[in-house]
Amino acid sequence: MLASQKDFNNAVSQVKLLKEDPGNEVKLKLYALYKQATEGPCNVPKPGMLGFINKTKWDAWNALGSLSKEAARQNYVDLVSRLSASSESPSPEAPAADRKQPESDSLVVTSEDGITTIRLNRPAKKNALTTQMYRDIIAALQAASKDESAITVLTGSGDYYCSGNDLTNFTHLPAGGLEEMARSAAALLRDFVNCFIDFPKPLVAVVNGPAVGISVTILGLFDVVYATDRASFHTPFSHLGQSPEGCSSYTFPKIMGSSKAAEMLLFGKKLTAQEACAQGLVTEVFPDGTFQKEVWARLKAYSKLPPNAMRISKQIIRNREKEKLHAVNAEESSVLRERWQSDECMNAIASFLSRKVKL
């Protein structure tokens, strides 16, 4: 049920009681939603360039297009309720009020200083990604795309960034057998990668240690990748009887040239952090001892930049590529669906599980 006029009036009064100034961006959003909820779509002429503040307000209102009064009222009420909750929140680490927490504690999502951090939290298993973690990351990215943060970060707990797909995912066979397992894994993989393709805000990987498999391939879809000098980047798909995913069959040749990409994706060459940086996959490498301090200080400074400008700039960069990336993702997922049913793949996974082979 949409918010009533009474809910809306209460929210208007509540705004005046906020303990913290929500900042200009949020105030502009509140203004636009208020105008849309009370007067409908923007119906006044655009102010001239010299009336800068009025023009900014007009732009915000006009950007709501034909959003109905009822929907604007609801969005206004939701926004005020989030602001009230966060201004009452005892800890700056508390998650955004509207964020559904992950199903398992293998993923931890926090929001602080304009940064939403999605942390892989399975250090005993080198942050290998379980099926539930893929689902939780999808949900976390969807929530982060709508929350108040300016930047979103993916990182890992412990000494690894991520050891890629949890190879035991392939051992939980559903009633439909291997074929059904491969079908549902391919659908999940496609949804997972789509979220990275479509993510609207600056997305930063803070690579705190070695990275393997899918955690490496999706780096080509991030805006910025910071790595400790302890990190390495390994895509052993042929060893595992598999093929590239995360759009890497397209992004890697584009980033590092086709022969360097082939050495990684066909032969599983492991790159050091410095090599990955020289080849353009990593933005900057930091000494491990100062990695966390330097990276977070930098991200905190970036998170103060105007969020709308960053979103719009990302949109311009990404839009040109989106259609292509979705097509690549669909193709890679469908090829993997077949690979996962192959003897080569099954044997490789069995070898890992029986501890005969480690990367």
Ligand X SMILES: CCCCC/C=C/CC(=O)SCCNC(=O)CCNC(=O)[C@H](O)C(C)(C)COP(=O)(O)OP(=O)(O)OC[C@H]1O[C@@H](n2cnc3c(N)ncnc32)[C@H](O)[C@@H]1OP(=O)(O)O
Q: Closer to ligand X by CB, 106 or 242: give it.
A: 242
Contacts of 68 by beta carbon, 8 Å cutoff, 6+ apart: none
Interatomic CA distance for residues 80 and 30, integer angstroms: 8
DSSP H helices, 99-146, are 131-146
Binding to ligand X in span 164-223, by CB under 6 A: 164-169, 185, 188-189, 212-214
Would you say 119 or 126 has its CB closer to ligand X?
126
Tokens 């203004």 sit at which residue? 31
- Closer residue to ligand X, CB minimum distance, 35 or 126: 126
Q: Which is nearer to ligand X, 18 or 167 (CB)?
A: 167
Measuring CA to CA, which residue among 88, 36, 94 is closest to residue 67?
A: 36
Residue 236 CB, shortest distance to ligand X, in Å, is 6
Which residue, judged by CB position, is nearest to ligand X in the bound state?
213
Report the residue from 136, 147, 223, 245 that binds ligand X according to the rule CB under 6 A. 245
Nearest approach in angstroms of CB 351 to ligand X is 10
Count CB neighbours of 20 within 10 A. 9
Give me the least distance between CB of 95 and ligand X, in Å please: 25
Determine, following the binding rule CB under 6 A, whether residue 332 of this chain makes contact with ligand X. Answer: no
Question: Which CB, 88 or 331, lies closer to ligand X?
Answer: 331
Element (H, E) at 73: helix 69-88
Q: Decide whether 93 or 331 has the Cβ nearer to ligand X.
A: 331
> 35 or 234: whose CB is closer to ligand X?
234
108 sits in which H/E element: strand 107-112
Question: Cα–Cα distances in Å, from 241 out to 168, 336, 343?
Answer: 15, 10, 8
Q: How many helices (H) and strands (E) does the chain have?
A: 13, 9
Q: Build a one-symbol-per-residue string for 78-117: x at contacts with ligand X by CB under 6 A, - elsewhere.
A: ----------------------------------------
Q: Binding ligand X by CB under 6 A: which of 57, 119, 126, 337? A: 126
Residue span binding ligand X (CB under 6 A) among the ranges 57-65, 99-107, 120-128, 150-158: 120-128
Q: Are 67 and 95 in contact (CB under 8 A)?
A: no
What whole-number distance in Å separates Cα of residue 191 and Cα of residue 250?
18
Q: What is the x/- site pattern for ligand X, positions 129-168, by CB under 6 A?
A: --x--x----------------------------xxxxxx
Q: Which are the contacts of 350, defined by CB distance < 8 A and separation ≥ 6?
A: none
CB 358 within 8 A of CB 164: no
Residues making contact with ligand X (CB under 6 A): 125-126, 128, 131, 134, 163-169, 185, 188-189, 212-214, 240, 242, 245, 352, 358-359
